[in-house]
Amino acid sequence: MVKIRILAVALPALALVVVSAAPAEAQERRLQFIRDAEIEHTIRTFAEPIFDVSGISGDSVEIALVKDNSLNAFVAGGMNLFIHTGLLQESEGPGELVGVIAHEIGHIAGGHLIRSQEAMEGASAQAILSALLGIGAALATGEAGAGAAIIGGGQEMARRNYLAYSRAQEGTADQAALNYMDQAGISARGLLHFLERLAGQDLRPTDRQDAFVRTHPLTLDRIESVRYHVEHSASSDKKLPAEYDEMHARMKAKLLGFVQPQLALQRYRDTDTAVAPRYGRAIALYQRGDLKQALPIIDQLIKEEPANPFFYELKGQVLLENSRVPESLAPYRKSVELLPDSALLRSALAHALIETNDDSVLEEALRNLKVAAAKEPRTPFTWRLIATVYGRENKQAMLSYALAEEAMARGDRQVARFHAEKAEKALPAGSPGWIRAQDIRTATDRPTPR
């Protein structure tokens, strides 16, 4: 994830892009976000049983990964779940994550609005989410990306302690989480262990507290309530599916390999035989530019798990970013074949196809991009690639339409209106593109939502 450089085009597995969403003078510290197909898949897998019993559709909840070493998670702007990478990396097992996710879903179900402790400088949670989904906001130069897609989402609001729930809301979310886990047959021991690790931090100075404590007031009464539940719940001794432990280990290894490759190489030795350490080591080696060692490890992982789409995705990314574009197509295609519902994988494949500069594969690229756009319509990177295809095909009207979608997705209403008007004039009246261009133009007439 962290070959820290400002890139123009990225997306694959952990395609790293840093995009400024605020003027330089306003950027005291930017929120940064990660997009990764495997990590998002893991979190949704952990959350699915909770969604099922809560009555909340998982498809309606946006999951945003915040690149931040602190332990925190929160919901904002309605159905948006934000999880810090620090929480993922410091979690001691999938049970802790499931417990925290259940707690946050309790906030969503309770309709709790996260409160600003200090001025938010006009940045709404929806604007942050738009920045997350704006993975391609500055993706014009065509350079391939690396590791997890990291996007700047504006300055860090109120220096890390800008959001907080009330103590009453915390208690309500705890009870909802405990009920959900009981209904799903999941032990709450993970949630209890997580809260116990944070116990006593309310007594520390604010600047020494973990972010989760600052945003989620923690009291001994809360911990005792969860402990009482664990002591009396029939689900307390139930185990999570065995595969959760491996998914959790791979997620942590992947994050460490991308974010701290040197530490990953120290932690994961070449004598390790388990999959997670080899996975993290391969990523770290590739991040350090050592393809001679990285690729054989990836190939061996693929040989051992030929149905794993994320190993193929990683190989495609490594090859694409090292100018071996034609070689990247086969693994990218295989990743999409194995996980066709992933918008990120389809966009990554399309990106590689476009980078071949072979017009004969543009139709395949566009087909994948249309599926990706249907699944994630607010992702600017996808629309930028679609615009690239239409431009290469000299379809100027559709190019204008795609640019309008791209600008709208990243919140640039003025540019969106400009391109939408061009598309509306050029496209056949009543055609799908014409209708959507008209919708975009009309939407830009309305006040910007706050």
| pLDDT on residue 378 | 86
CA distance 33 to 156: 12
| pLDDT on residue 11 | 32
| pLDDT on residue 198 | 83
CA distance 385 to 391: 10
CA distance 186 to 182: 6
Pull the structure tokens for residue 106: 């309790």
CA distance 30 to 147: 19
**Contacts of residue 24, Cβ cutoff 8 Å, sequence gap at least 6:** none
Looking at residue 206, the DSSP 8-state letter turns out to be G
The residue assigned the tokens 């008007």 is 421
| pLDDT on residue 37 | 94
For each of the chain's 450 residues, which pLDDT tens digit applies? 333 222 223 333 343 333 333 333 333 445 678 889 999 999 999 999 999 999 999 988 988 888 888 888 888 767 888 899 999 999 999 999 999 999 999 988 887 655 433 333 333 444 444 444 433 332 222 232 324 444 444 444 433 434 556 777 888 889 999 999 999 999 999 999 999 988 765 555 555 556 666 666 676 788 899 999 999 999 999 999 999 999 999 999 999 999 899 999 999 999 999 999 999 999 999 999 999 999 999 999 999 999 999 999 999 999 999 999 999 999 999 999 999 999 999 999 999 999 999 999 999 999 999 999 999 998 889 999 999 999 999 999 999 999 999 999 888 999 999 999 999 999 999 999 999 999 999 998 866 554
Overall pTM surpassing 0.85 (yes/no): no
| pLDDT on residue 146 | 29
Pull the structure tokens for residue 180: 């959900």
Angle at 287 between CA 45 and CA 331, to 5 degrees: 60
Q: What is the CATH T-level fold of the domain 290-443, as seen in this structure?
A: 1.25.40
Phi then psi dihedrals of residue 80, to 5 deg = -120, 120
Q: Could you state, in order of their start, the residue ranges of all structural domains in the chain?
A: 24-232, 290-443
Give the three-state DSSP class for 63. strand
**Contacts of residue 389, Cβ cutoff 8 Å, sequence gap at least 6:** 354, 362, 365, 366, 369
User: Is residue 13 a contact partner of residue 309, using CB atoms and an 8 Å limit?
Assistant: no
On whether the 24-232 domain is CATH 3.90.1150.10, my answer is no
Phi then psi dihedrals of residue 150, to 5 deg = -115, 120
| pLDDT on residue 15 | 35
| pLDDT on residue 18 | 31
| pLDDT on residue 202 | 56
Sheet holding 30-35, edge to edge: 73-76, 80-84, 62-66, 30-35, 149-155
Pull the structure tokens for residue 196: 């116990």
DSSP class per residue in 413-438: HHHHHHHHHHHHHHSPTTSHHHHHHH
Name the burial class of residue 219, with classes exposed (0-12), middle (13-18) and buried (19+) by CB atoms within 10 angstroms of its CB.
middle
CA distance 190 to 196: 10
Residue type, 197: R
Phi then psi dihedrals of residue 66, to 5 deg = -90, 125
- Give me Rg for the CA atoms of the chain: 22
User: Which of 344, 270, 278 is closest to 34 using CA atoms?
Assistant: 344
The residue assigned the tokens 């991308």 is 258
Q: At what angle do helices 37-54 and 343-355 cross, to 10 degrees?
A: 160
- Label the pairing between strands 80-84 and 62-66: parallel
Residue type, 36: D
